[in-house]
């Protein structure tokens, strides 16, 4: 996994955890790294025009804008007005006036047309209010942004999560469409160039109250979409990982090892970031050699499972927690990850087992949340207990047919070892009670053809506040412990 390093002074570490959703202005890296432009994205090209700020609106040069979509002819300019014949329509604007004439129609803009330095300027709203009446192509424009998508252009976007890590921080970007990444370092920032589709970010800039990562900003002022990651003032290392076939980008930032950077040398940024194998329920090209970890978020759909006093449902908690485990596993680069349900789906026990078996999972772990009666946060690992009189360690390789209800039996010794590793790693978390692995007739595990464990986290009571179970730091500690246990078991 490539790394990038930045050199600076040292500040004390004070990490936080949570979702990073802080709105910011368009100031910062976009101006430092690119001109003040407006970008037009077409299906096979992009164009940049100068954007001029007048009063409280952005303005575009009118004639240059028209020429992106056709040829304006019969220009007539007189007494503070100008007109063209454009796409078989007569277009006329007047300086200082908000009203625009399109054929026989009159359109009022929120800001007036300007005539400055011998050039006609129109507010950005002209694109959707007027130009949309003249050209046949559909437009997608998000108010307040500096880009528009014309015709059959489907912009990419992403959801962003920020998590603190021991000695560092992690940004996880979940894209809507596949992307590719190449990286460079410039002026103390890491620049991540995004290939593939044009991109409309959920917001132009994310700010973090964190000494490891200061901000993440989007910029495409040269027509090339990019993310600008600004680290804290310490000497930092960036470890990027592109996973799930270009759908997930994980950016781990940590303080550099002083021994490796004592001479002050900064490694060059790689030209591209090698992708990690995809994590999905289907075939994974080029990742067959990696062990599959099958994660099962309990319940889903109309089956909400247990519910706490404050409304916390088991199905929502298990999805959130399992997703955190999934991201942490992907970040190791050692596994491909399969989920038995995607989002809030209702899946039967047999469907979950089939998902695990058809993906040839090397490990299966199911997560649940319940009321243990202990009055404190507890974790209890389980493995499958066959019915009395059933052969528990029969070798599947010696049989021509293994009954569906006996598939797990041959994996019980390894399932116990997996549960013991889970117990060991979870026991390292403070302020929880950990129980020894227990054999139980867990129907879900019966038909899973791999080492399998069932983890129940409590205490979720309808009579008590379950707020502690929603603590992001607690969830992260649990997830990291599960990943460490799976790594120990698999290698």
Confidence band (pLDDT; 50, 70, 90) for 14?
Answer: very low
d(CA 168, CA 422): 24
d(CA 154, CA 322): 30
Q: At the topology level of CATH, where does 4-23+156-255 sit? A: Immunoglobulin-like (2.60.40)
Q: What confidence score (pLDDT) does residue 312 get?
A: 84
Judged against a pLDDT cut of 80, whether residue 193 lies above it is answered with yes
Task: Give me the chain's average pLDDT, please.
Answer: 81
In this structure, of 72-76, 108-112, 347-351, 419-423, the range with the lowest mean pLDDT score is 347-351
Q: List, for residues 25-80, the tens digit of each pLDDT value.
A: 223 333 333 348 999 999 999 999 999 998 888 999 999 999 999 999 999 998 89
**At CA 81, angle to CA 97 and CA 92, rounded to 5?**
80
Judged against a pLDDT cut of 90, whether residue 404 lies above it is answered with no
pLDDT over 90 for what percent of the chain?
Answer: 47
Q: List, for residues 235-255, the tens digit of each pLDDT value.
A: 888 888 887 778 888 888 988
Whether the full predicted model's pTM is greater than 0.75, yes or no, is: no
Q: List, for residues 296-350, the tens digit of each pLDDT value.
A: 999 999 999 888 777 788 999 999 999 999 989 988 889 989 999 988 889 999 8
Q: What confidence score (pLDDT) does residue 81 get?
A: 94
Q: What confidence score (pLDDT) does residue 144 get?
A: 87
Q: What confidence score (pLDDT) does residue 69 get?
A: 94
Q: What confidence score (pLDDT) does residue 139 get?
A: 92
Domain range summary for the chain, segments of one domain joined by +: 4-23+156-255, 52-145, 292-490
Q: What is the DSSP string of 327-396?
A: HHHHHHTS-EEEESS-SS----HHHHHHHHHHTTEEEEEEEEE---SSSS-EEEEEEE-PPTT--SS--G
Can you tell me the mean pLDDT for 455-477? 75
Give residue 333's region: left, alpha or beta (phi > 0; psi -120 to 50).
Answer: left
Q: List, for residues 138-184, the tens digit of each pLDDT value.
A: 999 988 899 999 999 999 998 888 888 778 888 988 888 889 888 88
**Helix, strand or coil, per DSSP, at residue 236:** strand
Q: What confidence score (pLDDT) does residue 126 get?
A: 96
Torsion, Cα 410 413 418 424, to 10 degrees, reads: 160
Judged against a pLDDT cut of 50, whether residue 107 lies above it is answered with yes
Judged against a pLDDT cut of 80, whether residue 394 lies above it is answered with no
In this structure, of 173-177, 214-218, 412-416, the range with the lowest mean pLDDT score is 173-177
Judged against a pLDDT cut of 60, whether residue 261 lies above it is answered with no
Q: What confidence score (pLDDT) does residue 276 get?
A: 44
Can you tell me the mean pLDDT for 120-149? 92
At residue 274, what are phi and psi to the nearest 5 degrees?
-65, 130
- Pick 292-490's CATH classification: 1.10.1330.10, 3.40.50.300, 3.40.630.40, 3.40.5.50: 3.40.630.40
Give residue 413's region: left, alpha or beta (phi > 0; psi -120 to 50).
Answer: alpha
Judged against a pLDDT cut of 80, whether residue 457 lies above it is answered with yes
Judged against a pLDDT cut of 90, whether residue 412 lies above it is answered with yes
Q: What confidence score (pLDDT) does residue 466 get?
A: 56
d(CA 475, CA 447): 29
Q: What confidence score (pLDDT) does residue 257 get?
A: 61
At residue 337, what are phi and psi to the nearest 5 degrees?
-115, 135
Q: At the topology level of CATH, where does 52-145 sit? A: Copper Amine Oxidase; Chain A, domain 1 (3.30.457)
């Amino acid at each position: 996994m490539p790394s990038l390093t930045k050199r600076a002074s040292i500040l004390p570490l004070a990490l936080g955890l949570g979702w990073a959703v802080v709105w910011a202005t368009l100031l910062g890296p976009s101006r430092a790294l690119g001109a003040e432009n407006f970008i037009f994205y077409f299906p096979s090209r992009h164009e940049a025009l100068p954007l001029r700020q007048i009063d409280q609106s952005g303005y575009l040069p009118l004639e240059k804008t028209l020429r992106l979509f056709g040829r304006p002819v019969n220009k007539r300019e007189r007494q503070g007005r100008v007109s063209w014949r454009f796409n078989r329509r007569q277009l006329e604007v007047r300086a200082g006036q908000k009203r625009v004439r399109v054929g026989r129609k009159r359109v009022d803009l929120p800001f007036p047309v300007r005539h400055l330095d011998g050039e006609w300027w129109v507010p950005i709203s002209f694109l959707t209010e007027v130009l949309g009446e003249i050209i046949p192509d559909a437009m997608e424009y998000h108010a307040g942004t500096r880009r528009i998508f014309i015709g059959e252009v489907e912009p990419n976007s992403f959801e962003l999560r920020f998590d603190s890590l021991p000695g560092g921080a992690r940004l996880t970007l979940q894209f809507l469409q596949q992307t590719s990444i190449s990286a460079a370092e410039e002026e103390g920032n890491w620049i991540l160039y995004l290939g593939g589709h044009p991109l409309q970010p959920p917001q132009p800039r994310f700010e973090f109250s964190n000494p490891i990562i200061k901000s993440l900003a989007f910029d495409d002022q040269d027509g090339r979409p990019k993310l600008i990651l600004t680290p804290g003032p310490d000497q930092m290392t960036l470890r990027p990982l592109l996973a799930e076939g270009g759908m997930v980008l994980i950016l781990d930032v940590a303080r550099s090892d002083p021994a490796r950077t004592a001479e002050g040398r900064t490694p060059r940024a790689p030209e591209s970031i090698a992708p990690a194998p995809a994590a999905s329920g289907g075939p994974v090209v080029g990742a067959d050699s990696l062990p599959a970890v099958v994660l099962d978020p309990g319940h889903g759909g109309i089956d909400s499972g247990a519910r706490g006093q404050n409304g916390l449902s088991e199905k929502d908690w298990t999805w959130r927690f399992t997703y955190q485990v999934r991201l942490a596993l992907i970040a190791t680069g050692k596994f491909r990850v399969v989920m038995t349900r995607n989002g809030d789906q209702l899946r039967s026990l047999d469907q979950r087992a089939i998902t695990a078996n058809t993906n040839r999972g090397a490990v299966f772990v199911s997560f649940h949340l319940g009321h243990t009666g202990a009055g404190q946060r507890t974790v209890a690992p389980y493995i499958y207990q066959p019915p009395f009189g059933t052969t528990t360690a029969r070798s599947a390789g010696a049989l021509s047919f293994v009954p569906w209800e006996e598939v797990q039996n041959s994996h019980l010794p390894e399932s116990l070892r997996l549960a013991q590793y889970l117990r060991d790693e979870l026991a390292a978390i403070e302020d929880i009670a950990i129980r020894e692995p227990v054999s139980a007739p867990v129907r879900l595990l019966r038909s899973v053809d791999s080492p399998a464990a069932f983890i129940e986290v409590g205490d979720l009571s309808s009579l008590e506040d379950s707020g502690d179970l929603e603590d992001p730091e607690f969830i992260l500690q649990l997830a990291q412990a599960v990943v460490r246990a799976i790594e120990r078991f698999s290698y």
